[in-house]
Amino acid sequence: MSFDHSGHGGRRRLGRRGFLRFGLAGTGAVLAPGVLSACASPAASDDPRALRVWDLFSGGDGLLMDEMIAEAERGADGFRIDRTILEWGPAYYTKLAMAAAGGRAPEVAVLHLSRLAGYAPGGLVEPFDLDLLAEFGVREADFTPAIWQSARYDGEVYAIPLDTHPFIIFYDLDLADQAGLLDSDGQLVEMGSPEAMLEASTRLAAAHGSTGVLFGHVNDPSQNWRMFNALYAQTGSTFGLPDGGEPEVDIEAAARVIEFMQQLFDGTTNPNNLDYDGATAAFTGGRGASIMVGEWELPTLRATGRPLGAAPYPNVFGQPAVHADSHSYVLPRQENADPERRREAHRYVADMLKRSFMWASAGHIPAYQPVIADPEYTSLDPQSSYAEAGETAVLDPPSWLTGSGSNFQVRMSQAVQSALLGNASAESAAQQMVRESAALLDQPNPVA
C-alpha cells in the first residue's frame, strides 16, 4: 500500500502553526508532561558526537532494544548512541512532529510505518539515500514488496522497516490436533472460506469443551479495526481515504465482513464481550482453544507453558491478507543536517536490521529478509510459522489521519464493536464506518 501517488504535489514544510493543527487533528492529544525519559549511558549522553536516537520501546521490547544497542556500541567500529525513550501513543507522535517541525530532531527515530503518510508529505522526515544504504549492505531486494512499497512517498523511500508485527492467531497445539485442524507438517490448516473458519471454530470449541476462539475488543482502540482490515482486504476491496474527497468503501463487502465477525463471535461458541486483558487472561488461564491477537503477545502466551502454535490470520475470503504495521526507522528533519552524522545514521539503521534476529525473540517478524532466510530463524518456534504474514501485510489506508494510535482506528473499532455487541446490524455498522471516515476527511489536512 504505497502512498506514492499523484495529487500530493510534492513535500511541504510544516510550519509551527500548521503543526499545532497537526497535533490536534492528527493525534487527538497534546504532549503530556512527563512522557519523555532518557535511556542512555552517561558517557553517551555527554558525548556531542553520539548519534541521537528516539524510540517508543518499553517493557520486553525495550530490554531487547537495550541489548541490540549495547552490541552495536561494542568494538572498534561501535556506535556512540544517545537513546531516548518516549511513551508510545499520540504523545510520541506529537513530540516527534514538534521536534522535526522546529528542525531540532534526533538523527534517527522509530515510527510506525502506518503513520508515515502524516510525516513525509509535510517534510517532517527526510528520504533515505539508497546508495548509501546499499554501501552498508541494505537494498530494496532485502524487503517484501508489501512493506517496501508502504515506505515510499513521491518516488523516494522515507522509512526503513525493522520489523512487521501482524495480527495473527495463536492456538493450543494439542486441542487443534484433537480438532483435526493440523496438516501433515503440524501447522494450522488453510481455511479458505467463512464456512470453513466457522466450522474450525466449532471443532476447537468441542475439543476444548467450551470456547474455540477468543478475541478481546470491548473498548479497545484498535482490535476491531485490525480484524476488520484483514478480512476486508481478503475480499479484494480497498478502503480509500482520498484527500479532499469522500471515503471509497465497498459497503457490501464491509457488511459481509462484519456479519462474519458477528457469526464467529456469537456469544455462544465464542464470547463476544471480552476486553483485551480479559481475552488474554482467558487464553493464558486455559479458558479457550485459540486467540486472535498481535504477535507481540508471544512472550506472555508462551510463559503459560501451553503447547503453543501460531499462524498468520486465517484466509477467510479468498485473497491472503493480514493486518500489520511495522516499526521503522526514519530520518527526522533537521534544520542543518550534518553529512557525516547523516551517513552514520544510515550505517546505524543498516546495522540494527542485521541484528534483528534478537528482535524476533519477542515475536516480531524481521523485515530484513536475509534474517528470515537464515536457518537460525527458521528454527524459531512458533515465530517461523507466521513469517509469511510479512508477505501479505496490509497496513492502514495511507492517509494523514490513519495509523497506529490514531483517532481513525478508534472510530472504526467503535463502529464494529456496536455490531459485535448486538447493538447494530452489520450493514449499519459498515455505514457508520463510512460516516466516521467522511467526518475525519472533512477536517483540514495539516500537510496539504
Q: Do 356 and 370 belong to one domain? A: yes
> Which residues, given as ranges, of the chain have pLDDT below 70?
1-48, 447-448
Domain assignment present for residue 1? The answer is no
pLDDT number for residue 88: 83
Q: Do 114 and 173 belong to one domain? A: no
pLDDT number for residue 279: 98
pLDDT tens readout for residues 133-154: 999 999 999 999 999 999 999 9
Domain of residue 149: give its range.
16-164+325-394
pLDDT tens readout for residues 398-418: 999 999 999 999 999 999 999
For 114-142, the DSSP string reads GGGGGTTTTTSEE---HHHHHHTT--GGG
Q: Do 388 and 341 belong to one domain? A: yes
Q: Do 302 and 243 belong to one domain? A: yes
Q: Do 153 and 206 belong to one domain? A: no
Name the phi and psi angles at 161, rounded to 5. Answer: -70, 135
Domain assignment present for residue 141? The answer is yes
Strand-pairing partners, residue 214, are 291
Tell me if 446 sits within 8 A of 440, measured CB to CB: no
Q: Do 96 and 221 belong to one domain? A: no
Q: Do 159 and 268 belong to one domain? A: no
pLDDT number for residue 244: 86
pLDDT number for residue 375: 95
Q: How many domains does the chain have?
A: 2
pLDDT number for residue 152: 96
d(CA 66, CA 53): 12
CATH number at residue 139: 3.40.190.10
| Residue closest to 386 by CA, chosen among 360, 365, 366 | 365
Domain assignment present for residue 7? The answer is no
Residue matched to cell numbers 473498548: 219
